Amino acid sequence: MDRRARPDTELDNPLLDLSGLPRFRDIRPEHVAPAVDYMLVRNRARIQALLAGDAEPTWDGFAQPMEDLDEALERVWAPVAHLNAVCDSPALREAYDACLPRLSAYATEVSQDPRVYRAYRAIRSGPEYPRLTLAQRRLLDNTLRDLRLAGAELGEADKARFKAIRKELATLASRFDRHLLDATQAWRLHLTDPAELAGLPESARARARARAEQEGLDGWLFTLEGPSYLDFITYSARRPLRRRIYEAYVTRASDQGPHAGRWDNGPVMGRILALRREMARLLGYPHYAEYSMATKMAGSSDEVLEFLRELAERARPAARQELAELEDYARAEDGLERLEAWDIPYYSERLREQRYRYAQEAVRAYFPEPVVLRGLFELVRRLYGVEVREAGPAQVWHPDVRLYEIRDRDGALRGRFYLDLYARRHKRGGAWMDECIGRKRTAEGVQVPVAFLTCNVSPPVGDAPALLTHDEVVTLFHEFGHGLHHMLTRVDHVGVAGINGVAWDAVELPSQFMENWCWEPEVLGFLSGHVETGAPLPGDLLDKMRSARNFQAGMQMLRQIEFALFDMLLHRDPAADGPGRIQAVLDRVREEVAVVRPPAFNRFQHGFAHIFSGGYAAGYYSYKWAEVLSADAFSRFEEEGLFNPRVGRDFLVHILEAGGTREPAELFRAFRGRPPRIDALLRHSGLAA
């Protein structure tokens, strides 16, 4: 097949040049739609050709070309999606938005073509299957699974119903989000008396002042948007005002609070749950929770419940003690008789500051960007024997962006990545890793994987290097962990190489695993160096940071477990289709695990977008699940030596190189020698008995 998807027409479009790295300097918004349209026409025609004829479908005759078509389309789209995130402009956004429906229509069309499903099925049950490679078999199994979950096996009537359900669910998800957004924007706290700002730090006041100015108001404006709400609830010393903003926040889109009934998500949530249940049953699952498990590492929803309950059990004693401490503190400081939900963030922050006072700015001086990058590359050299260095010139989308390459000890190129570190205008916030090119084997050899690594740290000022906060260092390591998973893979099929085909609840293992190294004194010896003196981060400062990290670890853990248990039990409930029943499930969960009982008007669930409009339905537990895996994996390094080359090799071979070719539970066992245990996470969180 052709590596160069350049058409025979005179169309000269840099997006269609797949001969190497994307030509970022040449790509213009006006190239986007023609390139995508060209690929869609081409793919459709080739798929029709593949499906024509009576020959028995084979891997080389059908599955491989299908994968290649898919991959080529993704390669054309990857730089577009990336530029849309890091170089936003009205023209690019318009081009990007115009293509989204075309791409999703194409994907739906292919996945719902019964001939496509039949062809994959034929290969699966044909004589060739046992002779296929592990990656090929896995890819085939995953494809069939996903098609089945998309309704491919249903009869005509059920298929129509399934389609209708999916359509209604999409509408309901966006209604849920719109209600939440409208409710969030409808309420505000406008303060004009400086005395009402008591407790708020200068930075929070400045943000509230700027917000007021934006609206042409005097004084200070607080809203229910995350950062503004957190500013106020964390720092305001005015208890009645804290209560007011708390009540407005936790009753958004519900039957309670200042806008009771106005954008009530109650009926929307009930309908979503009923439809999900119906959809799961159409596919033969007892409930939506089990449908969700079909693509997860966890074996069943029972196993997840057991896991969450065990964690809760182990975290509860610490959480109780932390709460008692906080109550004592609030009583001693302000004579508070009863610690309410709207008091907890405020007193927690004061207690935390009092106990672990250290200046973020002082820490930052120990993490100049060149030292951090050198340290990160040194770490992976020690662990996996790979060398990272800056690559030769390449086309980039901004002068700050650098291209790096990763080579084996014997010099073989394993992967490349673009590093885009600094915050700037027209760049989306946050940090992430994305795929630019995936690994595969072609007639000409191996296509080397390429990643996009994006962060948003403050850019350097003048000649001084950028200084990172410790949080930013941890974030960089996290994303680099995803990047290593993508780049060090040895799998020859894009669909199961690197992070592809890895279960949702296991995909954060390599990334969270990397975070651990940022807390190790031995690593900080070469990962930090004071910007003026070059001295590494002092041990007592690190100790303080480590204690601060685990402040109220028990309460935090229980809160996450409360959400995860609620999510799982709700999606197992045979009759949750109204607000009353949903509340009852939540009340039972709180009774079972929570140490903090919110007031009766609390309607947290009406804003729980993760599970009602995001991708986390019956999957919220994944956060904790992956944390257990990453902590337990790291603990083997703790036991056998942080830089023990055998352990590093095992992690490389069993986790990073294997991609999605095997069940994550199997890979984990191969690395750890046993199934995962929760002990390491508890110990790292300071919760071990």
18 in Cβ contact with 72 (< 8 Å): yes
Nearer to Zn ion among residue 356 and residue 504 (C-beta)? 504
Can you tell me whether residue 200 is helix, strand or coil? Answer: coil
| Nearest-approach distance from CB 622 to Zn ion, in angstroms | 11
3-state secondary structure 531-570: CCCCCCCCHHHHHHHHHHHCCCHHHHHHHHHHHHHHHHHH
Residue numbers at the binding site for Zn ion (CB under 5 A): 511
| Nearest-approach distance from CB 646 to Zn ion, in angstroms | 27
| Nearest-approach distance from CB 482 to Zn ion, in angstroms | 6
Nearer to Zn ion among residue 492 and residue 627 (C-beta)? 627
| Nearest-approach distance from CB 18 to Zn ion, in angstroms | 28
The stretches of 335-469 forming alpha helices (DSSP H) are 344-355, 360-364, 369-384
If you compute the radius of gyration of the chain from its CA atoms, what whole number of angstroms results?
27
| Residue pointed to by tokens 């190790």 | 520
| Nearest-approach distance from CB 511 to Zn ion, in angstroms | 4
Nearer to Zn ion among residue 256 and residue 489 (C-beta)? 489
The number of residues in the chain equals: 689
Pairing of strands 413-422, 450-457: parallel
Phi, psi of 662, rounded to the nearest 5 degrees: -130, 165
Per-position DSSP letters for 240-273, written without gaps between them: HHHHHHHHHHHTTTSSSSTTTTTS--HHHHHHHH
Determine the distance from the C-alpha atom of residue 515 to the mean position of all C-alpha atoms in its chain, rounded to a whole number.
15
> Around Cβ 58, how many Cβ atoms within 10 Å?
15
Nearer to Zn ion among residue 369 and residue 508 (C-beta)? 508
> Around Cβ 213, how many Cβ atoms within 10 Å?
13
- Residue 573's alpha-carbon distances to 286, 538, 569, 617, in angstroms, are 10, 52, 6, 13
| Nearest-approach distance from CB 481 to Zn ion, in angstroms | 8
| Nearest-approach distance from CB 510 to Zn ion, in angstroms | 9
624 in Cβ contact with 560 (< 8 Å): yes
Strand order in the sheet with 387-390: 387-390, 402-407, 413-422, 450-457, 432-437
Nearer to Zn ion among residue 348 and residue 511 (C-beta)? 511
The question of whether 479 is a catalytic residue gets the answer yes
Nearer to Zn ion among residue 67 and residue 434 (C-beta)? 434
Burial environment of residue 2 by CB neighbours within 10 A (0 to 12, 13 to 18, 19 or more): exposed
With a CB cutoff of 8 Å and minimum separation 6, the contacts of 484 are 380, 384, 510, 514, 656
Nearer to Zn ion among residue 510 and residue 648 (C-beta)? 510
| Nearest-approach distance from CB 239 to Zn ion, in angstroms | 37
Of 104, 148, 109, 149, the closest CA to residue 276 belongs to 149
**Closest residue to Zn ion, based on beta-carbon distance:** 511
Which pair of tokens denotes residue 504? 């949702």
Nearer to Zn ion among residue 508 and residue 657 (C-beta)? 508
DSSP label at 32? H
- Catalytic pick from 322, 479, 562, 627? 479
Nearer to Zn ion among residue 234 and residue 511 (C-beta)? 511
Which pair of tokens denotes residue 636? 């083997």
Which pair of tokens denotes residue 7? 């058409």
| Nearest-approach distance from CB 513 to Zn ion, in angstroms | 11
Nearer to Zn ion among residue 67 and residue 435 (C-beta)? 435
Compute the distance between CA of residue 299 and CA of residue 686 in angstroms, rounded to an integer: 28
Can you tell me whether residue 388 is helix, strand or coil? Answer: strand
242 in Cβ contact with 233 (< 8 Å): yes
419 in Cβ contact with 432 (< 8 Å): no
| Nearest-approach distance from CB 616 to Zn ion, in angstroms | 14
Catalytic residue annotation: 479
